[in-house]
Amino acid sequence: MAAGGGGHAAFKLRRRHYPQIHIPPFASTITPQCGDPAKMKWMFKEDHSLEHRCVESAKIRNKYPDRVPVIVEKVSGSQIVDIDKRKYLVPSDITVAQFMWIIRKRIQLPSEKAIFLFVDKTVPQSR
């Protein structure tokens, strides 16, 4: 997810209006981002090998089958504050808008600041 300039981003959490998406496990990273998605750096991926991420993800998914392990990172140079934790266990039925609201609340980002969500360097479709 990315925080950028001053657009308005109002999130209404009416579940029926937001389709569900599949959020990949630790092998993927969700990033608060500002700038070119093609130039994103994934600190978690740099710090942990693919094998380690897959093993850890499999353990967590076995222990919590109804949850999805997600890594949240902000891109360096982003204007938002650092997030205090980067590992999340997200309910499998959560919507993108709900997850963005959780992150926005966690970093206390006001509604006048924009936030963008990238999954594997792409913006997930809302449908």
Predicted confidence (pLDDT) per residue in 34-68, tens digit: 445 555 667 777 788 889 888 988 999 999 999 98
The pTM score is 0.60
Which region among 28-32, 68-72, 100-104, 119-123 has the lowest average model confidence (pLDDT)? 28-32
CATH of the domain at 53: 3.10.20.90
Q: How many CB atoms within 10 Å of residue 33? A: 25
Cα(11)–Cα(70) distance, integer angstroms: 21
Let me know: does 42 contact 120? Beta carbons within 8 Å.
no
Range of the structural domain that residue 67 is part of: 2-116
The total domain count for the chain is: 1
Q: Which residue has the higher pLDDT, 86 or 29?
A: 86
